[in-house]
Amino acid sequence: MLRAFEKGADGVFVVGCMEGDCHFKTGNFRARKRVEQAAAILDSVGVGGERVQMYNLSSGEGPLFAQYAIEMDEKIRALGPSPVRTALEAQKTAA
């Protein structure tokens, strides 16, 4: 997750199964914890923890997935480009 932001991603969205239905039992709980950790780190370095988010749904719920994807996309567009991306682009221009 952090590498994505490092390379200039404006947002990252993580999808896992419904809580309690994970094939790997607790994989989605651990993922949620890591998403929370990443959000805290992103806050502490001024990128913004709201740019990473986790959603839960079952693999058969195509339309719901699309809805979440649109929601995330709208949210990130509203936030604008990540300050890391802006800085990377500025660096490239200067070089």
Partner 1 sequence: MIVADKKPIEEIIETVKAYDRILVLGCNECVTVCEAGGKKEVEVLASALRMHFIQEGSKKTFDEQTLERQCDHEYLEEIRSVIDNYDAVLSLACGVGVQFMAEKYHTTPLIPGVNTCFLGATEKRGLWTERCQACGSCVLAHTAGICPISRCAKRVMNGPCGGSTGGKCEINKDLDCAWQLIIDRLRDLDRMDDYEIVTPIKDWSTERAGGPRTVSREDVQV
For the chain, the distance separating the N- and C-terminal CA atoms, rounded to the nearest angstrom, is 27
- With tokens 């709201």, the residue in question is 50
Q: Which is nearer to partner 1, 18 or 25 (CB)?
A: 25
CB of 61 to partner 1, least distance (A): 31
Q: Which residues bind partner 1 (CB under 8 A)?
A: 2-3, 5-6, 41-42, 44-47, 83-84, 86-88, 90-91
CB of 24 to partner 1, least distance (A): 16
Q: What's the rounded Cα separation, in Å, for the pair 49 and 32?
A: 13
Distances (CA, A) of 5 to 1, 74, 93: 7, 18, 19
